[in-house]
Amino acid sequence: MISLVPSWAIYYDEFWDAIKRRNLWFIKLRYGAVLMLFAFLVSSEFILGIKFTNTQSIALVLISSTILIYNGILHWVRKFLKCDPIKFNPLHFSLVQMLLDLTALMLVVYFTGGIETPLSMLFFFHMIIGSLILPGAIIYTIAFSVIFLFFIMVFAEYHFIIPHHAIAGLFQAPMYSNFTFTVLYSAVFGFVMLMSVVLANSIAHQLYRMEQKLVESLDQLNAAEVEKQKYVMSVVHEIKTPLAALHSYLDIVLQGFLGPVNEKILDKLQRVRARSAEAIQLTNDVLKVSKLRLLDEIKKEEIKVRDILSSVLKKQRANIDRKKVKLHFKDNRKVRTKILGDKLLLEIAFSNLVSNALKYIEDEGVVEIILDEKGKGIQLEVCDNGIGIPEKDLEKIFDDFYRASNIKSKGYEGTGMGLSIIKHIVEKHGGTIEVQSPSRLASQNKPGASFIVFLPLES
């Protein structure tokens, strides 16, 4: 099997998608061409005063029918093509289409007057399109073959080796036997054909080189991102060790193992402990995000989302009771379908969503957690009547380290990484997350927020 795929494009999905789109476009265009050819046969005598012989009419009908048949076969075959550079792929499919079309066009040109027909101009269209898709060696070979066959046809008609099928009413005198006309027309035809291929293939080659450089740059950026995440993980991990030790020493002092502590000093130490706990949480969040970005694949297993949420709520029970939160958990699904995903990562995401809702509501606030069906997946909504999110912050709320402007002013502690982690986890599972504020539980001075997560059944 001839390899037509550039080495840089073998694993480049956008390249394959472009080729498949063009193939489908050719197929649709071919249906239109067949309709136009039939319309030309039917209406030419009445509109243009052109008369076809019985031989011409039968030949053109057969050619049109053949085009329609092989186009239907191509339309069906394209659905089963795979982007395998070694086996028959969409690029080979493009080559087959072009060869079939050029063969059909050569026959149409022959039965509509040969050198006298204006339909020979359609060869240029095929050459330009082919130059944008196929490698230079292939398209130049095709171009020279078409020129050679066209010259042979013109030469054979001029010397009466093959019959000439003139279109009655197009020329007052036959042109195929005019030496000057045939030589000049053939020379111009060959020149324009080659120039069309040279220019179109040159432009395509430049575009492919630019695209190749972009792919290489993207690979380099991805490699740099991987190295950056590894470096961040190593640095953060080193920072976490002394922070954890400091936290442990503070616990020893605060628990009285080293003797009584003055109340003023105790208050300061408790604040230091709270800050150290926040710093440890921040390092943990950074490590989680870095690991997520390094993972090309996630662990997939069948998961019951309801069980994960029940586990999360069980762990948050003390916080719920302390703030006397009115929490409502509803599962509106008719069929409690399992999804494929990473249980640990989803538990982290759901835990962060629920803890955020509990964190940013006042005592005796309301939190609703609703599971529902949506298309080929499930939808999870975590809704509250807390402090909400200002409209100006909604677009940035999922950015790393970003915290809403109303949180800082009210003294809420946090790292600004929780929602970023949630978004990464959801997207790793092929899902989406969006936020609405005010929420549907909003009341005066309590706008609240609603986070809606969609997870497909199969990611």
Q: What is the pLDDT of residue 144?
A: 92
Q: Among 347, 306, 358, which residue's Cα sits nearest to residue 330? A: 306
263 in a structural domain:
no
Which of 280-289, 304-313, 412-421 has the highest mean predicted lDDT (pLDDT)?
304-313
Indicate the angle between helix axes 54-77 and 13-47, nearest 10 degrees: 160
Q: Domain end: 222, 249, 265, which one?
A: 222
196 and 305 inside one domain: no
218 with 306, same domain: the answer is no
Is 244 domain-assigned?
no
Beta carbons of 290 and 229 less than 8 angstroms apart? yes
Evaluate whether 169 touches 52 at the Cβ level (below 8 Å). Answer: no
CA-based nearest residue to 352, from 387, 392, 308, 390: 308
**Predicted local distance difference test score (pLDDT) of residue 237:** 66
On whether residue 69 sits in a domain, the answer given is yes
Average of per-residue pLDDT values in the chain: 81
CATH code for the domain of 382: 3.30.565.10
Q: Could you tell me if 5 and 79 are in contact, meaning their C-beta atoms sit under 8 angstroms apart?
A: no
**pLDDT confidence tier of residue 291, bands split at 50, 70 and 90:** low
Amino acid 90: pLDDT: 84
Specify whether 327 is located in the same domain as 441.
yes
Same domain? For 346 and 433 the reply is yes
Q: Which of 25-39, 81-95, 246-260, 352-366 has the lowest mean pLDDT?
A: 246-260
Boundary of a domain, candidates 162, 193, 222: 222
The mean pLDDT of 230-248, rounded to a whole number, is: 72
Closest CA to 56 of 165, 171, 194, 192: 165
How far from the centroid of its chain's Cα atoms is residue 24's Cα? 18
Q: What is the pLDDT, as a whole number, of residue 347?
A: 83
Burial (Cβ within 10 Å: 0-12, 13-18, ≥19) of residue 68: middle
Other C-beta atoms within 10 Å of 284: how many?
Answer: 15
Within a domain: 45: yes
Q: Which residue is it, tokens 């066959």?
A: 149
- Domain co-membership, 321 together with 432: yes
Residue 40 tokens read as: 């030309």
pLDDT per position as a tens digit, 338-360: 888 888 778 888 888 888 888 88
Question: Are 214 and 118 found together in one domain?
Answer: yes
Residue 418: pLDDT band with limits 50, 70, 90: confident
Residues 201, 326 within the same domain: no
Q: What predicted TM-score, i.e. pTM, was given to this entire model?
A: 0.54
Q: Looking at per-residue confidence, does 148 or 43 come out higher?
A: 148
Residues 358-377, mean pLDDT to the nearest whole number: 86
**Does residue 305 lie within any of the structural domains?**
yes
Q: Identify whether 341 is part of a domain.
A: yes
On whether residue 420 sits in a domain, the answer given is yes
Q: Both tokens of residue 329? A: 């958990």
Same domain, 104 and 217: yes
What range does the domain containing 132 cover?
A: 7-222
In tens, the pLDDT along 178-200 reads 888 888 988 999 999 899 888 88
Q: Is residue 295 part of a domain?
A: no
The reply to whether 47 and 189 lie within a common domain is yes
Q: Are residues 160 and 62 part of one domain?
A: yes
In this prediction, residue 73 has a pLDDT band, given cuts at 50, 70 and 90, of very high
**Least-confidence region, from 16-30, 108-122, 128-142, 269-283:** 269-283
Whether residues 317 and 217 share a domain: the answer is: no
Report, as an integer, the average pLDDT of 411-418: 63
127-152 mean pLDDT: 87
Boundary of a domain, candidates 188, 222, 256:
222
Helix (DSSP H) and strand (DSSP E) numbers for the chain:
12, 7
Q: Could you tell me if 218 and 305 lie in one domain? A: no
What's the number of domains the chain is made of? Answer: 2
Contacts of 354 (CB under 8 A, 6+ apart): 309, 312, 313, 316, 367, 369, 382
